[in-house]
Amino acid sequence: MKKRGISVALSFILLVALVFTGCGGAQQQEPTNTPSVSPSTSASPSEEPALSGEIVVSTLAGDPFQSSWRTLFDKFEENTGVKVILDAVPWENLREKQALELASGTGSYDVVYVHPFWFGEFTDNGYLMPITDYCDQATIDKFIPGLLDLYNRDGKVYGLPDWIATQILGYRTDLFEEAGLEAPKTWDDILNAAEKLANGDQMYGITFAGRKGGALAGIFCTTLLSNGSWLMDENGNPTMDTKEAIETTEFLAKLSKYAPPGYQNFHWDENAAVANSNKAAMIMLMTTNAAWLDDPGRSQTVGLWDFVAINNKTGGGMVDSYCWSVTKSTKNKDAAAELVKFMADTESQIFLTEKCGTSGATKAYYENQELIKTHPELGAMNQAFANSKPNPAWNTWASEQEVLETNLQMVFDGKMSASEAMAQVQAKMLENKK
Amino acid sequence: MKIRRINISSEEKRLGYAFILPGVFFLGFFIFIPIIYSIYMSLFEWKLFDLGKIKTFVGLDNFIRIFSDKVFVTAILNTLTIVVFCLVIELILGFIISLSLWNIKRSMKVAQSLILLPMITSPVIVGLIWRFIYDPQFGIVNYVLRNTIGVGNIAWLGNADTALISVIIVDVWQMTSFVILILYAGMTSIPNEYLEASLVDGTTYFQTVRYMVIPSISHYIILVLMMRTMDLFKIFDTVYVLTRGGPGYATETLSMYTYKTSFQFYEMGYAMALSLVSLVCILMISISYMKLMKRKD
């Protein structure tokens, strides 16, 4: 009887220990810059792991991301005992590979890395598990609501965001100081600074990626947000022929006069190369590229940049991102859920910022002063999140984007008026809506 | 002369059919069935993401739409411009270089290998290399121009006026070697006796080239023209890497537009109609060249 009592007491203590270990995920950890992160919900290595088995994670292929994720997966394996198999495929094939595996319903993927382009398709087909099935309210509250909302479908959130990026404005602090200019707060400030600081071939007022294929549309969308408008209204009706959209086009056309030659064929890398070579006073860039400007290996302008959200009537930012999602067909839900929480957690995201230049989605991430000191673009991102919209992901956007970008280039070249350009985009969107 | 027929037993005939059967099967499976299926699917309006849904039958609407599509007109004009300019320049340059190599008469293995380098390089790599070469700020073309004639930063690929000509230059750089390869092979097949006879007759060098070399390699010229025309009509990868069809629609080609329509805009029915138009154009060109070749015979 006595022995039985001891056994019961020991079992109770073990159970309590397990419960506390399991709840660790809800506790916020102090973010650090060190890559040696540990999963927020893991047991300490000395204890018996609460989770077991193996999980298969589907992500895109390519470094530095793939190797950084592998490092985090190894840490997760070490702390939980769960084996993580990474199935990385090129971005172009990621959607179809994931869709094929998930449609079969065999549970071959436990965690998928989902882009907004196919997020709607996956939720509509019931491939993803709502986060409320594995995250408590405390975990959910750790995330910036607007970013979590990017993965909201019909009132349910299906993934924890990661790889947050938006378009911001970078400006040369030394040149602005010399010219007695302050950080641009409106479009007029940007135009005024571009005009004042431009100096022929020696220094361009601004540089931005004007190439078709998404970069130019991204800049337009963020600039449009800063003018207090968006591509559609709340009812899903296109709003491209509005005063705000036409003003945005006209503003970008004026700004393009201060851009370097060839900017219409610049993607983000060529755009940054101009700024890095001390040839641009301002730059519109993706936040994921901001680290390039401070990389001594590629930049002549290290330490000379500061960043603000693109502002006019308001700050704005069209947010690009991915999310970590647990699949509905997973056979190891607990381990998959822990991995998703671990990957989106502040500490893992800080590690990924250092390694890959991507940003996280938790509040603690953007409040981390140490991190903001080394990554000044985060402050600008935080401003942009006040008025953010997700990267358009509806099925017909690609054809609308093509018309938008082509027309913008024509307006920049003076071959089309802003109102005509936007009227055509509006017509295309209406046609597609039908 | 009466041609004597070889007697083939029915068993040998069966064996012969058995040998060609796998080839015919693969040809049918991979070429004819997809073409027939494309023709059928071009009669529907359907999106790539609507795989499971019922497709709307629209008859010839997709083909009628082509005639009122301004982007298609621009794309076909750009494609024809590329075809004509590239063919003319590549043929002239290729002929001059192969003639020079042929005149040297020595084994030019190193030179031949070097000449072939651009052709054997992947078009994507070629596109990336030329993006650097054309870079307005850091590219070697502008560097040389700036330091020789003092011309500033030309936006080769970023300006609607220069983008198409820049694409043509890249193709000429890459594919002239193909023309050289074929024409040089043609020239080496000219019997020495002909040359000696022309020398004895006292012809000038240009007369030799005009009345002996060119007629002797005319089949090779037609072959090269046919292959290059077909290739240029389908030009895609170089344009995709260099400009993606921009700025505006300045370098939009038929293949580029078909690709965008299918895999970016997901309008599969219309994209198939566009593909079939390309196919018909290429077929007509090929048949014309083949007829020309027969006439030469």
- Is A254 among the domain residues? yes
Quote the pLDDT of residue A5.
52
Q: Are residues A182 and A288 in the same domain?
A: yes
User: How much is the pLDDT for A250?
Assistant: 98
- CB-nearest to B155 from A261, A277, A410 is A261
A366 plus A393 within the same structural domain: no
Are the C-beta atoms of residues B27 and B13 closer than 8 Å to each other? no
What pLDDT is recorded for position A330?
93
Per-residue pLDDT of chain A (434 residues; tens, 9 = 90+): 444 554 544 454 444 444 443 333 333 333 344 444 444 444 344 444 477 889 999 999 887 889 999 999 999 999 999 999 999 988 777 888 898 888 887 889 999 999 988 888 889 889 999 999 999 999 999 998 888 888 988 889 999 999 999 999 999 999 999 999 999 999 999 999 999 999 988 999 999 999 988 899 999 999 999 999 999 998 889 999 999 999 999 999 999 999 999 999 998 989 999 999 999 999 999 998 898 898 899 899 999 999 999 999 988 899 989 999 999 999 999 999 999 999 999 999 999 998 888 899 999 998 888 888 888 898 898 888 888 888 887 878 889 999 999 999 999 999 999 999 999 999 999 998 88
Residue A206 lies in a domain: yes
Smallest CA-to-CA distance from A357 within A426, A273, A279, A295 is with A295
- B208-229 pLDDT per residue, tens: 999 999 999 999 999 999 999 9
| pLDDT > 70? residue B164 | yes
Q: Which residues of B touch A (CB under 8 A)?
A: 47, 49, 131, 135-138, 152-160, 163, 242-249, 260, 264-267
Q: What does A65-125 look like in DSSP terms, one character per residue?
A: HHHHHHHHHHHHHHHH--EEEEEEE-HHHHHHHHHHHHHHTS---SEEEE-HHHHHHHHHT
Residue A39 inside a domain? The answer is yes
Q: For A125-129, which contacts have Cβ atoms below 8 Å and span 24 or more sequence positions?
A: A126/A328, A127/A102, A127/A103, A127/A327, A127/A328, A127/A329, A128/A158, A128/A159, A128/A325, A128/A326, A128/A327, A128/A328, A129/A158, A129/A325, A129/A326, A129/A327, A129/A328, A129/A330, A129/A333
Closest chain A residue to B71, measured at CA: A403
pLDDT at A2: 47
Q: Which of A121, A263, A399 sits opposite B49 (nearest CB)?
A: A121
Q: Which amino acid is at A340?
A: V
ipTM: 0.81
A interface with B, Cβ–Cβ < 8 A, is: 121, 201, 210-213, 260-266, 270, 273-274, 277, 279, 395-396, 398-399, 402, 405-406, 409-410, 413, 415
Chain A interface test: which of B53, B244, B257, B261 (most A C-beta within 10 Å):
B244
In a domain, A144, yes or no: yes
Same structural domain, A115 and A137: yes
**Contact predicate A305/A171, CB 8 Å:** yes
- Taking CA atoms, what residue in A is nearest to B134? A262
Inter-chain contact A406–B160, Cβ cutoff 8 Å?
Answer: no
Domain assignments of chain B as residue spans, ordered by start: 68-296
CATH of the domain at A355: 3.40.190.10
Q: Which two tokens stand for residue B191?
A: 């019997």
Report CB contact under 8 Å: B247, A260: no
What is the span of the domain harbouring residue A199?
A: 167-319+388-433
Q: Are residues A237 and A201 in the same domain?
A: yes
Kindly state whether residues A406 and A315 are assigned to the same domain: yes
> Which residue is closest to B50 within chain A, CA to CA?
A395
Q: Chain B partners of A270 at a C-beta cutoff of 8 Å?
A: 135
Same-domain pairing of A335 and A232:
no
In a domain, A191, yes or no: yes
Contact status, residue A151 vs residue A323, Cβ threshold 8 Å: yes
Nearest by CB to residue A279, choosing from B135, B137, B245, is B137
Closest CA to B122 of B236, B9, B201, B46: B236
Question: Which residue reads 């970590």 in tokens?
Answer: A324
Cβ-Cβ contacts under 8 Å between A and B: the total is: 83
Q: What digits encode the pLDDT tens for the residues B4-57?
A: 666 777 888 889 899 999 999 988 889 889 999 999 999 999 887 666 678 889
Domain B68-296, CATH class in plain words: mainly alpha
DSSP states of A302-351: TT-EEEE-EESSSEEEEEEEEEEEEBTT-S-HHHHHHHHHHHHSHHHHHH
Residue A392 to residues A119, A331, B26, B27, B202, Cα–Cα distance (Å): 11, 32, 42, 42, 75
CA distance A318 to A165: 8
Residue at A20 is within a domain: no
- For B95-126, write each residue's pLDDT tens digit: 999 999 888 876 667 777 888 899 999 999 99
Mark whether A223 and A314 lie in a shared domain: yes
User: What is d(CA A267, CA A405) in angstroms, rounded to the nearest whole number?
Assistant: 13
Q: How many domains does chain A have?
A: 2
Tokens of A293: 């400007």
> What's the first-to-final CA gap in chain A, in angstroms?
77
Distances in whole angstroms, Cα of residue B78 to Cα of each of A119, A366, B130, B165, B205: 37, 49, 20, 10, 38
Give the three-class secondary structure for A204. strand
The pLDDT score that the predictor gives to residue A76 is 94
Residues A345 and A372 in one domain: yes
- Closest CA relative to residue B187, chosen from B105, B87, B251, B79: B105
On whether residue A141 sits in a domain, the answer given is yes
Local structure of A388: helix, strand or coil: strand
Chain B partners within 8 Å of A415 (Cβ):
160, 248
CA distance B229 to A115: 40
Tokens representing A331 are 């056979």
